[in-house]
Amino acid sequence: MDAKAVGQRIKTAREKKNLTQEDLAALIDISPTHVSVIERGTKIARMDTFVAIANVLGVSADSLLIDVVDQATKSVASELSAAIDELPRDEKMRILKVVGILTEK
């Protein structure tokens, strides 16, 4: 498992919520130092801590573990599809063009 990549995704999700490491630590009842070592990938969070982090940050475990869990890509694709469905038509078309360019062989 790429603990650094998982930690970076946790950090990114935390920052999107405008939370500091101290804020997150207080919300899940761990020390800020523990949040730091998880985000740096120095240690892997225990399952209960990991679930608490995902719940507080409002993200799926799949999105945090995308490079670890084979089925995670299906969940992320489903979340992406739902997000795109909510966009205006012109935004959907713009995304379709970008994806087309990125997937050209």
Domain-by-domain residue ranges, the chain?
Answer: 1-69, 70-105
pTM here is: 0.67
Counting other chains too, the contacts that 39-48 makes at CB distance below 8 Å and 24 or more residues apart are 39/7, 39/8, 39/10, 39/11, 39/14, 40/4, 40/7, 41/2, 41/3, 41/4, 41/5, 41/6, 41/7, 41/8, 42/3, 43/3, 44/1, 44/3, 44/6
Q: What is the mean pLDDT of each run of 10 residues along the chain (105 residues)?
A: 92 97 98 98 95 95 79 67 89 90 81
The domain 1-69 is placed in CATH, from the list 3.40.50.2020, 1.10.3720.10, 1.10.260.40, 3.30.70.1520, at: 1.10.260.40
Residue-level pLDDT at 100: 87
Q: What is the pLDDT of residue 71?
A: 58
